[in-house]
Amino acid sequence: MMKKLILIISLSACVALQVNAQDNAVHTPKGAIVKVLTSNPGDKIKLNDVVTFQVIQKTEKDSVLFSTYMQGREVKIQVQPCQNAGDLMDVLPLLATKDSALVKVPTDSIFKGHEDQRPAFLPKGSNLVFNIKIDRIQSLQQAIDEKNAALEKLKTDEIAASNKYVTDHKLLVKTTPDGLKYLIIQPSLKHKPLAGDTLLVNYTGKTLDGKVFDSSIEADAQKAELNQPGRKYEPLEVIVGTGAVIKGWDEGLLLLNEGSKAEFIIPSSLGYGAEGAGADIAPYSTLVFDVELVKIKPIKHAAVAKKPPVKKHIISKKKS
């Protein structure tokens, strides 16, 4: 519910603003009341601009509901057409870089048509209060170029970090054509799985800097102080080779024998890619997994047809 109260990621250059001469407050078409606290020179925010800003969202009784300062990260959004007073999109076009503003948004306009979603701390007739400070304004193309450059740097940094990990730990790894690095720590002479088999796998996953983000092993989870309430510490059941897990696992597990242990160094191209996963796995992160293939539950596989033997023809040389 809190997230619904926070900024909807869109903006607009709505017009027909009304100014209250007594307090210099601007009333937007959607019902927000805006008081610009600092007015700086420079272009105002326009449709399709990408804006980076700090914001504190409070009740009228000063209870903080959301704060980028507390979160440690600013809001960054693209200017889009205004939808309702709560998205602040008819507010931002009033501001330039480094401007600050105090904004009051009537909660009645936010919850119109869905009163059942109104929380008790935002009664009828109340306002949501926003303190905004604009940090940066970019054109859409500038923002795209900056993002692409940052992604390219992440890709380059990932390769260097992965190679450094191998070197620093003096690992004699093998590398598959797809880029998976692996090291068999405990070999086994038992059979290997085939795609479609169900495997029981114990594992501990960590980032290159050693931060453990997941484990099926209770001792490892406790040592890393993982908070996994209700987690059953037992081997994970995986149907291998079917896309049920990340590509690095699908590829790596098929290389192991039942009972073997290995270390997988999985590049982001075989992991979580440009998106990352959660707070611990950043975009373009190479991941390290210590795995044990505990057991294979094979399915009945179709028999592979044997190729007929190739007949060898002996060509004798005729005596002259």
Q: How far apart are CA 123 and CA 127, in angstroms?
A: 9
Residue 300, CB half-sphere, CA atoms under 13 Å: how many? Answer: 0
Instruction: Tell me the β-bridge partners of 137.
Output: 51
User: Is-contact 49 78, C-beta < 8 A?
Assistant: yes
List the end-to-end C-alpha distance of the chain, in Å, as a whole number: 98
Catalytic residues, by residue number, are 203, 213-214, 246, 272, 289
Instruction: Tell me the β-bridge partners of 215.
Output: 204
State the residue for tokens 């692409």.
Answer: 148
User: Computed from CA positions of residues 259, 264, 268, 272, in that sequence, does the dihedral angle turn out positive or negative?
Assistant: positive
Q: How far apart are CA 271 and CA 263, in angstroms?
A: 15
Extract the tokens encoding 22.
């007594």
Residues in the chain: 320
State the residue for tokens 């539950």.
Answer: 297
User: Is-contact 182 252, C-beta < 8 A?
Assistant: yes
Cα–Cα distances in Å, from 79 out to 57, 73, 92, 162, 189?
19, 19, 9, 38, 61
Instruction: Tell me the β-bridge partners of 133.
Output: 54, 100
